[in-house]
Structure 1
Amino acid sequence: MIEAKNIIKRYGNLEVLKGVDVTIGDGMIVSIVGPSGAGKTTLLQIIGTLDKPDSGTVTYDGVDVLRLKDKRLAQFRNKNIGFVFQFHQLLPEFTMLENVAIPALIGGCKQSQAFKRAAELLDYMGLSDRLEHKPAELSGGERQRVAVARALVNKPAVILADEPSGSLDTANKQELHKLFFTLRDEMKQTFVIVTHDESLAGNSDRILHMRDGMIVEPDSVI
């Protein structure tokens, strides 16, 4: 379980988050929705330990991650949190197999084990014939599936996704959303997703509505 309590974040005189409280249970898809500038991405980055709040706490199964030293925090992030971004952020000089394996290698996994896990995930994504391809040789939908495989390689507690289907056409968007729900059902994977996509949000287990740095209404449970 992930708990963020009384999260306050300022940039200069601008208060971006104004005491946000969020609890996320295991095996859920939670969508964070709201207008641009509401603080959605900032909250996601703080939950993902990529940024720190000015005050408040973030705990994973009782571990106060904001109190961890930088090296320990990086290790925790690598092991427990997977990230999917709008523009996939794959490294262009590496193959798909290498891109997916990188977080496992950073975490100290043996190369043979990291590549085996990466190949299994790419096969699960329907990309077993793309192992040696580089990002430029794949479609946008394929690249985003590779990004999901990379996020899963260390078997994280949660995947955080920031507008993951925002750059995809309708068909690839639907395939990506279907993949998220399949992963929830088959792997009991937890997702926290910042999205403007009404279809994805509407099918989520919970919807958190944000405006002006606050959750503005009780979250919706589907």
Structure 2
Amino acid sequence: MIELEGITKSFGSLQVLKGIDLTIAKGEIVSIVGPSGAGKTTLLQIMGTLDRPDSGRVVLNGTEVNRLNEKALSAFRNKEIGFVFQFHQLLPEFTALENVAIPALIRGESAGNARRKAMEMLELMGLQDRASHKPAELSGGEKQRVAVARALVNRPSAVLADEPSGSLDTQNKEELHRLFFDLRDRLGQTFVIVTHDEGLASKTDRTIHIIDGKIKKEEL
């Protein structure tokens, strides 16, 4: 479902990725781990089409994204990829429902359809009673679940998460991790998660170890 072939990326004289080959199947939950500066986030950004590699191919759901122009790439990203970041990145002036609806509105859905889909996602997260609350009125765990709902509202092929539980306390962290596996079981959702959390990594279907810009080994 996600195929990376020969991915390289440099920033100035620093080569961050040094020939990454990786295939992720539909419905897999894969963790990417490694020390700071190993290239994990850069790899995730390239996988998510937020950055382009210097060389290599990125194929997502049968589309070679390297060949898309910026307008087509933006539309593809909106439809096929959901993102969850460490610090939720919700818009503070909007309610939970409005935040979740944004990707659907960008896709061209009517306001009514976008709100309906957003509420369905909030119900899936158990947050329907928080729909009218703004981020400042939500707990840290609730904010991150709203961010997951936003990532899922367009039913993307893959959700890419960068340290999604890094800012949460132990209880909320464990609840978020359980949520990922529940969503995979209920929706067949694919997740790729960059994490320093060894507990989460140990539970995923596969753990990809990156050291010095290369995949060192995989643990099944």
- TM-score normalized by the length of structure 1: 0.98
Map of 1:151 onto structure 2: 151
Map of 1:24 onto structure 2: 24
Map of 1:78 onto structure 2: 78
* 1:117 equivalent in alignment to 2:117: yes
Residues 3 and 58 of structure 2 are in contact (CA less than 8 Å); yes or no, is this contact kept in structure 1?
yes
Residues 86 and 167 of structure 2 are in contact (CA less than 8 Å); yes or no, is this contact kept in structure 1?
yes
CA-CA distance at 1:61 after TM superposition = 2.8
CA-CA distance at 1:62 after TM superposition = 2.6
1:121-132 aligned within 5 A: 121-132=121-132
CA distance in 1, matches of 2:46, 2:60: 12
CA distance in 2, matches of 1:37, 1:101: 34
Give the aligned length: 220
Q: Which runs of 5+ in 2 are unaligned?
A: none
Map of 2:175 onto structure 1: 175
Paired residue secondary structure (2:117): helix
CA distance in 1, matches of 2:148, 2:123: 12
Give percent identity, aligned residues only.
68
1:36-51 aligned within 5 A: 36-51=36-51
Map of 1:220 onto structure 2: 219
Map of 1:201 onto structure 2: 201
Q: Which runs of 5+ in 1 are unaligned?
A: none
CA distance in 2, matches of 1:144, 1:66: 30
1:187-219 deviation line (CA, Å, top 9, x unaligned): 0000000001111100100100000000012x1
Amino acid corresponding to residue 220 of structure 1 in structure 2: E
Amino acid corresponding to residue 98 of structure 2 in structure 1: E
Residues 61 and 157 of structure 2 are in contact (CA less than 8 Å); yes or no, is this contact kept in structure 1?
no
CA distance in 1, matches of 2:111, 2:61: 30
* 1:15 equivalent in alignment to 2:15: yes
Moved over 3 A (4+): none
CA distance in 1, matches of 2:33, 2:78: 26
1:130-167 deviation line (CA, Å, top 9, x unaligned): 11100000000000000000000000000000000000
Paired residue secondary structure (2:132): coil
CA distance in 1, matches of 2:63, 2:127: 36
CA distance in 1, matches of 2:81, 2:54: 22
CA distance in 1, matches of 2:216, 2:67: 28
Amino acid corresponding to residue 43 of structure 1 in structure 2: L
CA distance in 2, matches of 1:63, 1:9: 21
